[in-house]
């Protein structure tokens, strides 16, 4: 399997949009689709919003390709933040998606490794992310990559709160 990791470009727009929609739905809509989920995905991961994200200089979007087919992505928000009061300013991984068929094959590790290289080049020593508390596969993956659970937050969708864990890693 030949994996290439590179920065996203406008030619990735259609595939990146569909990837984000598909992975988000498979992660959060575990009991089926409801209107709030569908509305969110169609809005948040519209072609226009994904295009803006690719072109945004404050976001680095990396893609993973297998034999020229897009199979994963990661987005790094370059604006430093403090995920909780006791943490140092750090860079956020806002999106980390791998198509389910390609999970467990080392692609996520490769994508994270390049992500960490990019973050180090920006001069930061810590990275954080949030993960849906019911997504045990992702939680286990991040723990194996030495992310530590440091707190919780809620992803608000409509009037529903969806608990997420905050995880932090020194790089």
Asked whether 2 and 66 are in contact (CB, 8 A), the reply is yes
**pLDDT tens digits along 113-144:** 999 999 999 999 899 999 999 999 999 999 99
Number of domains composing the chain? 1
Confidence at residue 89, expressed as pLDDT on a 0 to 100 scale: 80
Angle between helices 47-55 and 13-28 (to 10 degrees): 110
Confidence at residue 1, expressed as pLDDT on a 0 to 100 scale: 77
Whole-angstrom distance, CA of residue 20 vs CA of residue 71: 10
In this structure, of 62-71, 103-112, 156-165, the range with the lowest mean pLDDT score is 156-165
What is the domain range of residue 25?
3-170
Confidence at residue 79, expressed as pLDDT on a 0 to 100 scale: 87
pLDDT at residue 34 above 80?
yes
CATH number reported for the structural domain that contains residue 11 in this entry: 3.40.630.30
CA-wise closest residue to 55 among 67, 65, 47: 47
Contacts of 3 (CB under 8 A, 6+ apart): 64, 65, 66, 107, 110
Confidence at residue 109, expressed as pLDDT on a 0 to 100 scale: 96
* pTM for the whole structure: 0.93
């Amino acid at each position: 399997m030949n994996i290439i990791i590179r920065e996203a470009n406008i030619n990735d727009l259609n595939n990146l949009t569909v990837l984000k929609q598909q992975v988000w739905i498979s992660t959060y809509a575990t009991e089926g689709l409801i209107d709030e989920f569908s509305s969110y995905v169609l809005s948040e991961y519209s072609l226009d919003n994904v295009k803006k994200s690719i072109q945004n200089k404050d976001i680095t979007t990396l893609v993973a390709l297998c034999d020229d087919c897009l199979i994963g992505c990661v987005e790094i928000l370059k604006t430093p933040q403090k995920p909780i009061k006791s943490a140092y300013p750090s860079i956020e991984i806002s999106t980390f998606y791998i198509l389910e068929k390609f999970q467990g094959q080392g692609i996520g590790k490769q994508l994270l490794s390049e992500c960490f290289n990019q973050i180090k080049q920006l001069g930061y020593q810590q990275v954080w992310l949030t993960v849906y508390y019911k997504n045990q596969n992702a939680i286990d993956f991040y723990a194996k990559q030495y992310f530590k659970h440091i707190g919780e937050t809620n992803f608000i969708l409509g009037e529903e709160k969806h608990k997420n864990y905050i995880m932090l890693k020194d790089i």
